[in-house]
Chains A and B, each alone.
With several copies, the nearest count.
Chain A
Amino acid sequence: MKRFNPDAMGEKLLRRLAGGTSRRGILSRLGLALVAAPVFPLLPVSRAEAAKPDRSPEAKTMFARTAQTKDDTKCNYWRYCAIDGALCTCCGGGIHTCPAGAEPSPVSWVGSCINPDDGKAYMIAYRDCCGKPACGQCGCDNTDRETQLYLPQLNNNVIWCFGTSSMEYHCSTAMMIGAA
């Protein structure tokens, strides 16, 4: 089991998780929160880091075994292992960019997906683009390690449009945070 070491968390990373670059207020509180946190049993999303990860085909989910890295407008693109919604790449946006007129949510749910090219797991932040009517293109619902409402960061049903001026859901992006 890994121990929690808040000093090792750079502000840059916190910023990526928390969103915008000018939210120092969030970041400082976030730091405080983490300092206060006790140690918990590590969950699958972090086990990959905790132990030598098993990347054999036998350890891969069905999604991971069939994922591809070429076309980010398809549901089986590797980063989408836990996405639920319309792919922003099909809506005039990009893999980590909202379509014009939509607002990226500063918070997100996360997934841990394996890139078939290097066999490594990466942490993906699914950031909803908000404030426009549903895009309606490329609806996907992948559920690797997707949980229920009491673990909201790993739940993909929630409309992750907190802190945006409107909570209407338009589409979802899959931003790479880094190695998991």
Chain B
Amino acid sequence: MTLGRKLARVLIGTAIAGSLATMNAAVALAEAVVPEAEEPGVMTMEAPKPSWFFVRGGWGSAGTSIFDAGTGKMIGMVATSRDSDLGIDPSGKFYYVAETMWSKVNRGTRQDLVSVYDSKTLKLLGEIPTPGRLIVGGFTTNFVLTDDGKTAYDYNFDPASSVNIIDLTKRKFVRAIELPGCAGMIPNPGVGFSSLCADGTIATVAIKGATQDITRTEPFFDAAADPIWSNTVYDRKKKQVVMLSYTGVVRTAAVGAKVEVGAPFSIQEAGGMKAADVKPLDIAWYPGGMQPMALHRPTGMLWVLMHKGEYWSHKEGAEEIWGIDLAAKKVVKRYPVEDEPSNIQITQDDAAMIMVNGGGKDAVIIDSKTGEVKHKIENGGSGLITVVESM
């Protein structure tokens, strides 16, 4: 039935049946003339800006809200269904959402796809069916775009590890690469991608057309005793990944055909304390949360969510955020934070505004230079925070 038909039915129906307040008012109104009446419309947005935070709602939420760091105002929302992953086209033209839906909410046919949205109208431009993906949400490393924006890597675990390669230009799934014992992707431009592995190595998948070579670093961490957060942070310009372990060991690695892991340092030692360890009863400042660190790439400042506690408290929210000069390996700022946030992000512009969320109802924007709270956004979302990285 067309809408016209439906409207006609309701109006005739109401007319026959009884009270017609709206229509009577409309009649009265018609006589009053209405020069100030308005027209409905739909906004368009600007291309993604470095001053924007893309903030996922809480567990089970279906949207990613965009907030401007300067004003604290909401700019718009990308539809990101439950446990989906958002990718932002480096050229700013598209938003990509890797998602999984069932045809009847929680039953029926499973559908895995990458939805493509125009970044200005937020209209759905297309859907790319994929074989499957890990349903988890909360990680930046499960759906990664290449620097040229032409390829997406989509992590799958079913429960076997693999990576789907998606051609974003042709909007087509290309093929899957098995990735046994490893998970998530670190961009590795011109090579393929790299990945953290259970044996304490980084595996590098060099993609050559329809085949690939997989090489590994030497083991450099203990995946069970002192794990590195899957939410690593990648710096496109430096081609460098920053890694953080549960005890607070910070490592960087230069990506390339051969990944080179740099010398680690202790975040506590960088703050003038003794390094934390894995023993119970030892109280120390530990990093914690789901997205426990953010890197301001232009200045090489790493911001980490820190709390006092014992080891195996790695999901606990923060009491302070620590600003670490990565080059100097020194903690140079410590700011107290409220509500035990578990996610942190920072804009990649000169403003260098931090957002933390995930503890209370507010998403909080903090000036990284002063520690001053600039905005508290009620119901601002409690999930993963993404920013645009300049190319």
Please determine if A and B sit in direct contact within the complex, based on CB atoms under 8 angstroms apart. Answer: yes
Contact with B along A34-68 (1 / 0, CB 8 A): 10111011111110111000000011111111000
Quick check: B224 and A101 within 8 Å, CB to CB?
no
Asked if A149 meets B4 with Cβ closer than 8 Å, knowing A110-B25, A162-B158, the reply is no
Contact with B along A9-43 (1 / 0, CB 8 A): 11011101111110101100110111011101111
Q: Within 8 Å CB of A91, what residues of B? A: 74, 76-77
Q: Which of B7, B41, B105 has the most CB of A within 10 A?
A: B7
The CA-CA distance from A40 to B27 in the complex, in Å, is: 12
Report the nearest A residue to B107, measured CB to CB. A166
Quick check: B45 and A19 within 8 Å, CB to CB?
no
The CA-CA distance from A129 to B79 in the complex, in Å, is: 14
Q: Within 8 Å CB of B134, what residues of A? A: 149, 158
Contact with A along B42-63 (1 / 0, CB 8 A): 1111000000000001011111
Quick check: A61 and B280 within 8 Å, CB to CB?
yes
Asked if A13 meets B83 with Cβ closer than 8 Å, knowing A26-B7, A43-B24, A148-B183, the reply is no
Question: How many residues of B sit at the interface, in one of the four size bands?
Answer: 35 or more
Quick check: A58 and B281 within 8 Å, CB to CB?
yes
Q: How far is the CB of A34 from chain B (nearest CB, A)?
A: 6
Asked if A43 meets B21 with Cβ closer than 8 Å, knowing A92-B77, A135-B74, A148-B230, the reply is yes
The CA-CA distance from A149 to B219 in the complex, in Å, is: 17
Asked if A151 meets B27 with Cβ closer than 8 Å, knowing A100-B42, A132-B63, the reply is no
Quick check: B77 and A179 within 8 Å, CB to CB?
no
Q: Which of B40, B136, B310 has the most CB of A within 10 A?
A: B40
Q: Within 8 Å CB of A38, what residues of B? A: 15
Q: How far is the CB of B307 from chain A (nearest CB, A)?
A: 13
Contact with A along B309-330 (1 / 0, CB 8 A): 1111111000000000000000
- The stretch from B146-154, B194-202, B367-375 touching chain A is B194-202
Quick check: B19 and A163 within 8 Å, CB to CB?
no
The CA-CA distance from A30 to B9 in the complex, in Å, is: 9
Q: Which of A93, A102, A152 has the most CB of B within 10 A?
A: A152
The CA-CA distance from A43 to B120 in the complex, in Å, is: 44
Quick check: A2 and B28 within 8 Å, CB to CB?
yes
Quick check: B27 and A4 within 8 Å, CB to CB?
yes
A97 CB within 8 Å of chain B:
yes
Contact with B along A162-180 (1 / 0, CB 8 A): 1101111010010111111
The CA-CA distance from A106 to B224 in the complex, in Å, is: 24
Q: How far is the CB of B144 from chain A (nearest CB, A)?
A: 14
Quick check: A23 and B224 within 8 Å, CB to CB?
no
Q: Out of B77, B110, B159, name the residue touching A107 (CB < 8 Å).
A: B159
Q: Within 8 Å CB of A18, what residues of B? A: 7
Quick check: B11 and A96 within 8 Å, CB to CB?
no
Q: How far is the CB of B291 from chain A (nearest CB, A)?
A: 12
Q: How far is the CB of A16 from chain B (nearest CB, A)?
A: 5
Q: Out of A4, A63, A97, name the residue touching B40 (CB < 8 Å).
A: A97
B238 CB within 8 Å of chain A:
no
Chain B 81-109 interface residues, beta-carbon cutoff 8 Å to A: 83, 100, 102, 105-107
Report the nearest A residue to B122, measured CB to CB. A101
Asked if A112 meets B25 with Cβ closer than 8 Å, knowing A58-B280, A157-B136, A166-B107, the reply is yes
Q: Out of A8, A137, A141, A146, name the residue touching B379 (CB < 8 Å).
A: A137
- The stretch from B30-38, B250-258, B294-302 touching chain A is B30-38
Contact with B along A84-120 (1 / 0, CB 8 A): 0000001111111111111110110010100000000
B139 CB within 8 Å of chain A:
yes
Q: Out of B12, B159, B381, name the residue touching A36 (CB < 8 Å).
A: B12
Quick check: A157 and B138 within 8 Å, CB to CB?
yes
A123 CB within 8 Å of chain B:
yes
Q: Out of A17, A98, A131, name the residue touching B26 (CB < 8 Å).
A: A17
Quick check: B4 and A9 within 8 Å, CB to CB?
no
Q: Within 8 Å CB of A165, what residues of B? A: 107
Sample of 18 more A-B contacts, CB < 8 Å, known A62-B280, A163-B7: A2-B24, A16-B39, A17-B22, A25-B2, A29-B5, A43-B223, A90-B73, A91-B74, A97-B41, A100-B121, A100-B122, A101-B77, A104-B42, A132-B77, A135-B77, A141-B315, A146-B315, A167-B110
Pairs across A and B, CB under 8 Å, 6 listed: A10-B30, A40-B199, A150-B198, A173-B40, A176-B36, A177-B26
Which A-B residue pairs are the 8 nearest by beta carbons?
A: A101-B122, A178-B34, A29-B8, A33-B11, A37-B15, A49-B28, A163-B3, A133-B63
